[in-house]
């Protein structure tokens, strides 16, 4: 079956505490664009992310605030920063890479929190059943085109509140020359 592709550029999720520290006491994230996942939005708030070896400016904060602070980057970004972050699911942060966030009003030094997000598909429990994927936590997906191929280790991220969508980072998208809104094809479940 087909699934729409959503490409995630590097971005940051913040706790309430870190939002205040970076942007000031009464700062609120403004929703400038709804993302497809219900409740999630792009803000116009940006931070610098920095290590001893490099820095990247204007990294967008995705709202709303969460109960963890997380920096999601691509391997291309990681090379620029001299980091080797693990591939992780959102929120699975223990032992991930250290990084510093710099906002207009303050600095946050994270002991860990920087990851390469795993490839994943947002899916409801009902869709998982209907699409015959009940027995799988992961699937293989075909990306079509001149530099197409298949990608493995695509997690099924199951939630009642989700919009059916395959999330890829910019490296996966650029390697395969796919764009936001293109369709990919789920070809098989991967055994646990």
CB of 55 to a second copy, least distance (A): 17
Q: Are 154 and 120 in contact (CB under 8 A)?
A: yes
Judged by CB under 8 A, the residue of 40, 100, 140, 162 near a second copy is 140
CB of 155 to a second copy, least distance (A): 12
Least Cβ distance, residue 30 to a second copy (angstroms): 26
Is residue 31 a contact point for a second copy (CB under 8 A)?
no
**Neighbouring residues of 129: CB distance < 8 A, sequence distance ≥ 6:** none
Distance from C-alpha of 175 to C-alpha of 178, rounded to nearest angstrom: 8
CB of 9 to a second copy, least distance (A): 10
- In terms of CB distance, is 119 or 122 closer to a second copy? 119
Residue of 17, 14, 45, 49 whose CA lies nearest to 29: 45
Site map (CB under 8 A) of a second copy, residues 144-173, x = contact: --xxxxxxxx---------------xxxx-
- Is 87 a residue that touches a second copy (CB under 8 A)? yes
- Mark out the alpha helices in the chain (DSSP H runs): 16-23, 75-81, 125-130, 170-176
- Distance from C-alpha of 57 to C-alpha of 48, rounded to nearest angstrom: 4
Q: What residues line the site for a second copy (CB under 8 A)? A: 74-76, 79, 87, 116, 119, 140, 146-153, 169-172, 174-177
């Amino acid at each position: 079956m087909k699934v729409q592709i959503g490409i995630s550029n590097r971005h940051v999720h913040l706790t309430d505490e870190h939002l205040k520290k970076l942007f000031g006491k009464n700062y609120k994230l403004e929703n400038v664009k709804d993302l497809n996942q219900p409740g999630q939005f792009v803000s116009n708030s940006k931070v610098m992310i920095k290590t001893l070896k490099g820095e990247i400016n204007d990294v967008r904060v995705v709202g709303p605030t969460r109960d963890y602070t997380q920096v999601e980057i691509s391997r291309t970004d990681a090379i620029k920063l001299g980091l080797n972050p693990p591939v992780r699911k959102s929120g699975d942060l223990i032992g991930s890479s250290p990084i510093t966030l710099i906002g207009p009003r303050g600095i946050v030094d994270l002991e860990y929190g920087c990851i390469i997000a795993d490839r994943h598909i947002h899916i409801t429990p009902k869709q998982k059943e209907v699409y015959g994927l009940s027995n799988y936590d992961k699937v293989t997906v075909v990306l079509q085109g001149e530099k197409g191929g298949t990608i493995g280790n695509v997690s099924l991220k199951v939630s009642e509140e989700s919009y059916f969508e395959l999330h890829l980072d910019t490296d996966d998208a650029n390697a395969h020359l796919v764009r936001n809104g293109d369709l990919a094809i789920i070809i098989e479940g991967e055994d646990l």
